[in-house]
Chain A
Amino acid sequence: MDSFRDKLIPVTSIVAGMVVLWYVMAVILNAPFQRDLDTRANETPGTVEFIGKTLAQPKPTLPAPHQVAVNFFENTFLRPITSSRSLVYNAWVTLSSTLLGFAFGTALGIIIAVGIVHVATLDRSLMPWIIASQTIPILAVAPMIIVVLAAIGITGLIPKAMISTYLSFFPVTVGMVKGLRSPEIMHLDLMHTYNASPSQTFWKLRVPASVPFLFTSMKVAVAASLVGAIVGELPTGAVAGIGAKLLAGAYYSQSIDIWSALVAGSIVAALLVMVVGIAGRLVDRAMGGRPA
């Protein structure tokens, strides 16, 4: 609880500072258009009235925080969650492919890591390719995956999940390679003195030792999965999902919609990372971890 209170003041001050800065930027960025409107309407508002107007445009260059908040609130709590405009509905669409992709990615990441740790050839041949795979911009790869998969008749959830998989297996692979190699020499020597088989060393030593590494990398992977799912919605012309909301907002210059979809995305990301973190802590506790 103390750590919570220690963090409360610094975090609140930063948030307050950012909100102030956001308002200032909103006024500055929306001012030219507002001035244009006022000139055409032959109005000469006072400074306060002018600032008020810059913060209440229907399609502002930068929406003010309260505009985003109102839009977010309406689309989250006031709409039926089956409505295509509901942020809950759209977040769920994105979340489902995020989770599927995350599950695939974690499994794939673990399998590759096990291969790399146990097969010297894979260690040398696979790792450069894995690193190279992450240097390719996902925005370039995503449409190809979607198009290729659509050509063989796979559409809907799976192609989006594949993009999440593509982004999320990497941190898991890197983390698990490190985790599976983390046992101390002394522990490995100990297993050697017991004449333990490689599979016994793997299950009784390497796997438990890698668990903390797994959860750390899963936190990164789940956030990457969400990015993958959102990116995956962009080129598909998806009708639903946070990515689809972003795209639709961009088409129709609904900047407030874009921002509230972004807020929804951030909240989903924060929740996902939190859930993985809590799961990690529970597992750590079950494995006799020392309470921090």
Chain B
Amino acid sequence: MTGISPAVVAASKLGLTFQTNDGPVQALSNVDLTIGKGEFVSFIGPSGCGKTTLLRVIADLEKPTSGTISVNGMTPEQAREKRAYGYVFQAAALFPWRTIERNVGLPLEIMGLSRAEQAERIKRTLDLVNLSGFEKKYPWQLSGGMQQRASIARALAFDADLLLMDEPFGALDEIVRDHLNEQLLELWGRTNKTICFVTHSIPEAVYLSTRIVVMSPRPGRVSDIIESTLPKERPLDIRETPEFLAIAARVRDGLRAGHSYDD
């Protein structure tokens, strides 16, 4: 590390090869990436490009087979043990037998916080995702969008500075998704967290990110990194501006260049 303030995520020549019954599959190859504090970085690419795998490596859910990666200047395992990040999955993954407040309180229980501290943080994070009043509800009593918001609250509850989100809105309809995108940006602006966000959607990536990492498959690699020139304040209709469309076009070009559709 040569920088003065260490990067939140720094990967160098990172590679991961899965051993499967059909032989080795190279999920990640030669990934070089540095993510600074407070950035909102999207990972976009077709299925099988390794974007989720990369996020899972950062989260210590997968071990890289080559290269190096650090999270907050530590190994991913040390970072996980220090609870350095909150992870939001594709599905809300709430425990059906716990109420919303007890779901949000799950990581706090595991960390052994006092009851009072738990209650205070649950209240604060539920406020943050606009779910106040739903504390005593069970997950099935909430809509899909609300469930996903609860799972974001759960990831925020223990105040990790890094938020890893794996296609969190992929299963939701477009109207709900727009709404949650807006709320997520607002939340990011208020909390100054670093967010890594995996998505399939070009508009979503462009709308949210300060930087867009375009990935391509076989083997999974970074094919382009695009800095967003959009301002930090982003109303939904920014998506109609020429600036937005220009960035979206660059992302689309990057995807097309990195991916041949003949197979």
Residues of A within 8 A of B (CB): 184, 186-187, 189-196, 200, 204-205, 208-209, 211, 287-290
Contact = CB atoms under 8 A, between A and B. Distances in A.
Interface in B124-149: 138-140
B95 A195 contact: no
Contact of B91 (A186, A194, A209, A289): A186
Contact of A194 (B93, B95, B99, B111): B111
Contacts of B138: 288, 290
Most central of A187, A190, A208, A287 by chain B CB within 10 Å: A190
Nearest to A208: B97
- Would you list the 7 A-B pairs with minimal beta carbon distance, nearest first? A288-B138, A287-B97, A193-B87, A186-B93, A208-B97, A290-B140, A194-B110
Nearest to A196: B110
Contact of B89 (A186, A191, A211): A186
Given A195-B83, A200-B110, A205-B95, 8 more contacts: A193-B61, A193-B80, A193-B87, A204-B109, A208-B97, A288-B96, A288-B99, A288-B140
Given A186-B93, A288-B96, A288-B138, A193 B85 contact: yes
B80 A195 contact: yes
Nearest to B59: A193
A288 B97 contact: yes
Interface string B35-66: 00000000000000000000000011100000
B240 to A, nearest CB: 36
Most central of A187, A190, A193, A290 by chain B CB within 10 Å: A193
Contacts of A196: 110
Contacts of A208: 95, 97
A189 B87 CA distance: 9
A190 B93 contact: yes
Contacts of B219: none
Interface of B: 59-61, 80-81, 83, 85-87, 89-91, 93, 95-99, 106-107, 109-111, 138-140
A193 B155 CA distance: 10
A192 B93 contact: no
Contact of A187 (B61, B87, B95, B109): B95
A277 B138 CA distance: 23
A4 to B, nearest CB: 25
A95 to B, nearest CB: 32
Contacts of B60: 192-193
Most central of B59, B86, B95 by chain A CB within 10 Å: B95
B101 to A, nearest CB: 12
B80 to A, nearest CB: 6
Most central of B61, B91, B97 by chain A CB within 10 Å: B97
**Which secondary structure dominates where chain A touches chain B?**
helix
A205 B94 CA distance: 11
Nearest to B97: A287
Contacts of B140: 288, 290
A204 B103 CA distance: 11
A285 B190 CA distance: 39
A200 B112 CA distance: 11
7 contacts: A189-B87, A193-B80, A195-B81, A200-B110, A204-B95, A204-B106, A290-B140
Nearest to A201: B110
Contacts of A211: 97
A193 B96 CA distance: 19
B99 A192 contact: no
Contacts of B86: 193
A194 B97 contact: no
Nearest to A291: B140
A147 to B, nearest CB: 46
A205 B106 CA distance: 10
A196 B97 CA distance: 18
B110 A192 contact: no
Contacts of A205: 95
Nearest to A284: B97
Nearest to A288: B138
B107 A194 contact: yes
A47 B70 CA distance: 96
Contacts of B95: 187, 204-205, 208
A185 B139 CA distance: 19
A200 B90 CA distance: 23
Most central of A184, A189, A208 by chain B CB within 10 Å: A189
A200 B110 CA distance: 7
B146 to A, nearest CB: 15
Contacts of A209: 97
A192 B62 CA distance: 11
Contacts of A186: 89-91, 93
Nearest to B154: A190
A212 B253 CA distance: 51
A109 B107 CA distance: 31
